[in-house]
Amino acid sequence: MEVERVQAIAYLSIAKDTIPADFIRPENEQPAITTFHGPLPEIPTIDLNDPDQEKVVRLISDASRDWGIFQVVNHGIPSDLISKLQCVGKEFFELPQEEKEKYARPNDAKDIEGYGNKLQKGNGDAKKAWVDHLFHRVWPPSRINYQFWPQTPPSYREVNEEYAKQTREVADKLFKSLSLGLGVEGNVLKEALGGEELEYMMKINYYPPCPRPDLALGVVAHTDLSCITILVPNEVPGLQVFKDDHWIDAKYIPNALIIHIGDQIEILSNGKYKAVLHRTTVDKDRTRMSWPVFLEPPADLVVGPLPQLVTQDNSPKYKAKKFKDYAYCKLNKLPQ
C-alpha cells in the first residue's frame, strides 16, 4: 500500500493557500479559534541544579500537581549534545523519501516503532494530524531494535546512545524529587515503574510548514501514556497545554527540557500529580520538530496507586492494572 507522508503533502501544498479537507479540524479544535491570547501564568521553569534541593522538590511537586508540566534548566545534558540530537534527527527527515521508507513501521506491526504517521493506521479517523514521526526505543539494551535507528547520518546511533544515557540521569533526579514530593522515599516511584527495566521510547516529530496553521493541528489533544516524558523542542513554538479551561502556548527556552507528567505517575500518585493535556499547532513557514522520550514501565508490570498513599481518607482513585492492558484500552478508546 502506498502511504502518503505529511511531508510530501506539505511540499505539494507550498504554493497554495489550502490544505486537504481531511486535515481541517472541527471548529472546537481549530487553533485560531481555541488558542487563548490573554495574560496567563507561564509553565513553571525549574533550575535542577539549585543548591537548595528541598526547594527543587517543592517546585517539581507543585508544578506536577498544578500543571502536569514544567521546563527544566541546568539539567546536566550538554547543549552541544542537544544540538547534535537535533541535527541528526533533522538530517534523517531531510533524506530522500525512499531512504526514510526503509525505516517504515511495518503495516502489520503490533509495536509502534518505526517511521510513519497516523495516515498509516487506516482506523477511520476522519481528521488527520499534520506530522510525521519516527519511534524507536533507546533503553534498555534488551529492548532496542536497531533496524529502526537511521544509519544515515552515520553519527545517529552514537548521538542517540549518548543522549539516552544522559536522559536516564535526568530521569533519576526527577523520579527522586517526585517521590519525595509525595512524602515517600526517593527510590519509590522508579522502583514502582520497573526500576532498571523502565523503557525509554524516543520519538521524533516532524511538523512541516502548513499553509493553514489556523485550521490544522500537529498532534491532537492527549495526555501521555507514559510515566513521564522528557522533550526537546526546536525553536519553532507549537506546544500548547490546557490549563484553567484555556489552550496556552509553551514558551521556547533554548536548551531547556520540557517534562510532561504522564498517566502512570498520575495513577501512582493517586491523582496528586496530574497528567497534562496537551496538543501541538503548526507553523505557516517553518518546520517544527520535537524529540519526546516517553518513559514507560515494562508491559507486564502492574501499576496502581502507591499503597503508602492510600488511606481511609484517600481511597484508590484508579484501578491497578498491567501497563499493556492500560495502553490497549487507551489506544482503543475503551474505558479503563
Ligand X SMILES: O=C(O)CCC(=O)C(=O)O
**Interaction between residue 134 and ligand X (CB under 6 A):** no
Which cell is 272 given?
Answer: 496528586
Binders of ligand X among residues 199 to 228 (CB under 6 A) are 203, 205, 219
Please select the residue that binds ligand X; options are 233, 262, 297, 305, rule is CB under 6 A: 233
Other Cβ atoms closer than 10 A to 280: 23
**Catalytic residue at 278?**
yes
**Interaction between residue 136 and ligand X (CB under 6 A):** no
Rounded distance between C-alpha atoms, residue 41 and residue 18, angstroms:
34
**Interaction between residue 7 and ligand X (CB under 6 A):** no
Query: Residue 82 belongs to what H/E stretch?
Result: helix 79-93
DSSP code string of 41-66: PPPPEEETT-S-HHHHHHHHHHHHHH
**Catalytic residue at 16?**
no
Which cell is 201 given?
Answer: 521510547
**Catalytic residue at 260?**
no
Residue 244 burial (10 A CB sphere; 0-12, 13-18, 19+): exposed
Amino acid at site 229: T
Other Cβ atoms closer than 10 A to 24: 18
Residue nearest to ligand X (CB): 290
Q: Which residues share a beta bridge with 19?
A: none
Determine which one of 224, 243, 249, 263 is catalytic.
Answer: 224
Identify which of residues 117 and 205 has a Cβ nearer to ligand X in the complex.
Answer: 205
Identify which of residues 159 and 289 has a Cβ nearer to ligand X in the complex.
Answer: 289
**Closest distance to ligand X from the beta carbon of 278 (Å):** 6
Determine which one of 203, 243, 260, 272 is catalytic.
Answer: 203
- Continuous H helices in 213-311: 263-268
Identify which of residues 134 and 231 has a Cβ nearer to ligand X in the complex.
Answer: 231
Identify which of residues 128 and 176 has a Cβ nearer to ligand X in the complex.
Answer: 128
Stretch that binds ligand X, among 50-58, 115-123, 181-189, 231-239 (CB under 6 A): 231-239
The answer to whether 48 touches 77, Cβ cutoff 8 Å, is no
Per-residue mark of binding to ligand X, 274-293 (x: CB under 6 A): ----x-x---------x-x-
**Closest distance to ligand X from the beta carbon of 291 (Å):** 9
Identify which of residues 181 and 207 has a Cβ nearer to ligand X in the complex.
Answer: 207
Query: Residue 303 belongs to what H/E stretch?
Result: strand 302-303
DSSP code string of 148-200: GS--SSTTHHHHHHHHHHHHHHHHHHHHHHHHHHTTS-TTHHHHHTTGGG-EE
**Catalytic residue at 224?**
yes
Question: Can you give the binding site for ligand X, defined by CB under 6 A?
Answer: 203, 205, 219, 231, 233, 239, 278, 280, 290, 292
Active site residues: 203, 222, 224, 278
